[in-house]
Homo-oligomer: A and B are copies of this chain.
Amino acid sequence: LVTLKIVAEKAGVSPTTVSRVINNSGYVSEDARRKVEKAIEILNYVPNNAARTLAKKRTNAIGVVVNNLHDPFFHDLIKGFEDGATETSYNIVFCSALGGDVAGKERYVKYLTNGVTDGIVLYGSYLSDESIINYLIDINFPFILIENEISGRIVNNLLIDNVGGAEDAVRYLISLGHKRIAHIVGNPNRKVNIDRMNGYINAMHKNAISIDPSHIKYITTGYVSGYDKMRELMLSDNRPTAVFCSDDAIASYAVRAAIDLGLKVSKDVSVMGFDNRTILPDGYRGPDITTVEQPLYQIGKDSICFLTEVLLNGGCMQPIRKVYSTEIIIKETVGPVYG
| Contact, CB under 8 Å: B108 / A91 | yes
Residues of chain B contacted by A113 (CB below 8 angstroms):
46
Residues of chain B contacted by A96 (CB below 8 angstroms):
78, 82, 85, 92, 94
Instruction: Mark each residue of chain A from 107 to 133: 1 if its CB lies under 8 Å from any CB of chain B, else 0.
Output: 110110111100000000000000000
Could you tell me the distance in whole angstroms from the C-beta of A60 to the nearest C-beta in chain B? 9
Within 8 A of B (CB), among A42-94: 44, 46-54, 59, 61, 63, 68-70, 72, 74-76, 78-79, 82-83, 85-86, 91-94
Could you tell me the distance in whole angstroms from the C-beta of A79 to the nearest C-beta in chain B? 4
Q: Is A138 an interface residue (CB 8 A)?
A: yes
| Contact, CB under 8 Å: A279 / B70 | no
Q: Is A302 an interface residue (CB 8 A)?
A: no
Residue from B49, B79, B95 in contact with A91 in the complex, judged by beta carbons closer than 8 Å: B95
Could you tell me the distance in whole angstroms from the C-beta of A134 to the nearest C-beta in chain B? 11
| Contact, CB under 8 Å: A288 / B283 | yes
Residues of chain B contacted by A72 (CB below 8 angstroms):
72, 75, 279
Could you tell me the distance in whole angstroms from the C-beta of A121 to the nearest C-beta in chain B? 13
| Contact, CB under 8 Å: A115 / B75 | no
**Bound CA–CA A197/B278 (angstroms):** 31
Q: Is A153 an interface residue (CB 8 A)?
A: no
| Contact, CB under 8 Å: B115 / A50 | yes
**Bound CA–CA A46/B70 (angstroms):** 29
Residues of chain B contacted by A138 (CB below 8 angstroms):
44
Residue from B46, B63, B98 in contact with A110 in the complex, judged by beta carbons closer than 8 Å: B46
| Contact, CB under 8 Å: A94 / B91 | no
| Contact, CB under 8 Å: A70 / B74 | yes
Q: Is A285 an interface residue (CB 8 A)?
A: yes
Residues of chain B contacted by A139 (CB below 8 angstroms):
44
Could you tell me the distance in whole angstroms from the C-beta of A249 to the nearest C-beta in chain B? 13
- A49 with B115: in contact, given A75-B70, A279-B279 (CB under 8 Å)? yes
Q: Is A282 an interface residue (CB 8 A)?
A: yes
Q: Which 7 A-B pairs have the closest CB atoms?
A: A50-B115, A50-B53, A70-B78, A94-B94, A49-B115, A93-B93, A70-B79
**Can you name 21 A-B pairs with beta carbons within 8 Å?**
A44-B138, A46-B110, A46-B113, A48-B114, A48-B115, A52-B115, A53-B115, A61-B111, A61-B116, A69-B69, A69-B82, A70-B76, A70-B78, A72-B75, A78-B96, A82-B98, A85-B98, A91-B95, A91-B107, A94-B95, A94-B96
Q: Besides A54-B54, A91-B108, 6 other CB < 8 A contacts?
A: A50-B50, A50-B114, A72-B75, A82-B98, A92-B95, A283-B288
